[in-house]
Amino acid sequence: MERGTVLVTGGNSGIGLECARVLARQGRGVLIASRDRAASAAAVERITTETGNPNVSEMGLDLGSFYSIRRFARRIEADDVPLQALVCNAGVQFSGGLRLSSDGFELTFAVNHLGHFLLTQLLIDRLAANAPSRIVVVASGVHDPARWSGMPKPAIADFETLAASGGARAGAYNGQLAYVNSKVCNMWFCYELARRIEEERVARNAERITVNAFDPGLVPGSGLARDYSPAQRWIWDRVLPRVARLLTGAVPSISTAAKSGDALARLVLDPTLAQVSGKYFPSHRRWQEAPSSKESYDLARARELWDESLRMCGIAARG
């Protein structure tokens, strides 16, 4: 029976906030984890008032800092949070020049992939102890070079370059390229984690932890464009949400935060998905299971990313 707490990273804004709202409405305990504590506290208050669910709370977490992630995981242990689902939703996209995390990694890669990778490693035993549990990785349709997105096509030559510059050649930083590359990493991470968890589960005859990937579609109006120029932000915040509300019924790859948040929550709540793992649920298929990009099924690259991520996070492989 899945009744334990759902941790939603980036749950104080956009798609994550809407997902947290639906989870709370369905009676689940929800823990929002983001950097902006005031925004998180406001989200908790709003959700609690709206749903009457008293089991909604927040904790500070900076996925761009290993120190913060480790401190956060220690608090989850100390507070004995009955964690039964993890929604890896937080994400950033930058324009302008190269930014590094406090640990020295390109910030998009650090927050969107590496931070979630470390967080999952630190919380997996707790999820296993409370299993059946679920992990959902929020990726994006931009990971797929075969689909038009208006963004650059992903290009990952090697993981060292990716971690140093988001995939661009030295001196040629491109925030959009770093973003689409980080979303390919989300897919590799999801599939590799699902494979490893399943192997361990079979070996130990343990309860299931499912791991699936989600594409919310194009969701204008969220905080994702906060680093854009004022003119671009105005279009993203004011114009495109109206277009999305008009088109979303006919064009499934365009959505609203409420609609995508609801679909994301379904991956945590839907009993028919209790045994489904290692799958992709994209908006263009109205969040039914569908294939992801050809490259996302590259086992060798997924394994390499896993090993490199362990090394970058400074943790040893599980025996």
Ligand X SMILES: NC(=O)c1ccc[n+]([C@@H]2O[C@H](COP(=O)([O-])OP(=O)(O)OC[C@H]3O[C@@H](n4cnc5c(N)ncnc54)[C@H](OP(=O)(O)O)[C@@H]3O)[C@@H](O)[C@H]2O)c1
Q: Which residues are catalytic?
A: 179
Q: Is 17 exposed, middle or buried (0-12, 13-18, 19+ CB in 10 A)?
A: buried
List 4, 5, 6, 12, residue binding ligand X (CB under 6 A): 12
Whether 293 and 187 have beta carbons less than 8 Å apart is answered as yes
User: Which tokens sit at 198?
Assistant: 């399943």
Question: Rounded to the nearest whole angstrom, what is the least distance from the CB of residue 31 to ligand X in the complex?
Answer: 13
CA distance 212 to 273: 10
Site membership for ligand X, residue 84 (CB under 6 A): no
Binding to ligand X by residue 13, rule CB under 6 A? yes
**Closest residue (Cβ) to ligand X?**
14
Q: Kindly state the smallest distance separating residue 226's Cβ from ligand X, in Å.
A: 6
Got the DSSP string for the chain? ---SEEEEETTTSHHHHHHHHHHHHTT--EEEEES-HHHHHHHHHHHHHHH--S-EEEEE--TT-HHHHHHHHHHHHHTT--EEEEEE-------SS--B-TTSSBHHHIIIIIIHHHHHHHHHHHHHHT-SEEEEEE--GGG-TTS--SSPPP--S-HHHHHHHTTPPTT---HHHHHHHHHHHHHHHHHHHHHHHHHHHHHHTPPPEEEEEEE--B-TTSGGGTTS-HHHHHIIIIIHHHHHHHHTTT-TTB--HHHHHHHHHHHHH-GGGTT--S-EEEGGGTTS-B---SGGG-HHHHHHHHHHHHHHHT-PPP-
Is 190 a binder of ligand X (CB under 6 A)?
no
CB of 205 vs ligand X, minimal distance in Å: 34
The residue from 47, 92, 127, 197 that contacts ligand X (CB under 6 A) is 92
Site string for ligand X, 104-133 (x = CB under 6 A): -------x----------------------
62 binds ligand X (CB under 6 A): yes
Between residues 250 and 317, which has the closer beta carbon with respect to ligand X? 250
Write down the least CB distance from residue 199 to ligand X, Å.
27
Our CB check for ligand X shows the closer of 197 and 240 to be 240
194-233 binders of ligand X (CB under 6 A): 216, 218-219, 222-224
Among 4, 16, 29, 175, binds ligand X (CB under 6 A): 16
When binding is defined by CB under 6 A, the residue of 10, 152, 166, 282 that contacts ligand X is 10
Task: Decide: is 86 part of the binding site for ligand X (CB under 6 A).
Answer: no
Does 35 bind ligand X (CB under 6 A)? Our answer is: yes
- 42 belongs to the binding site for ligand X (CB under 6 A): no
Q: Please tell me whether residue 9 binds ligand X under the rule CB under 6 A.
A: yes
Among residues 42 and 276, whose Cβ is nearest to ligand X?
Answer: 42
Site for ligand X in 129-158 (CB under 6 A): 138, 140
Q: Which chain residues interact with ligand X by CB under 6 A?
A: 9-10, 12-16, 34-36, 39, 61-64, 89-92, 111, 138, 140, 216, 218-219, 222-224
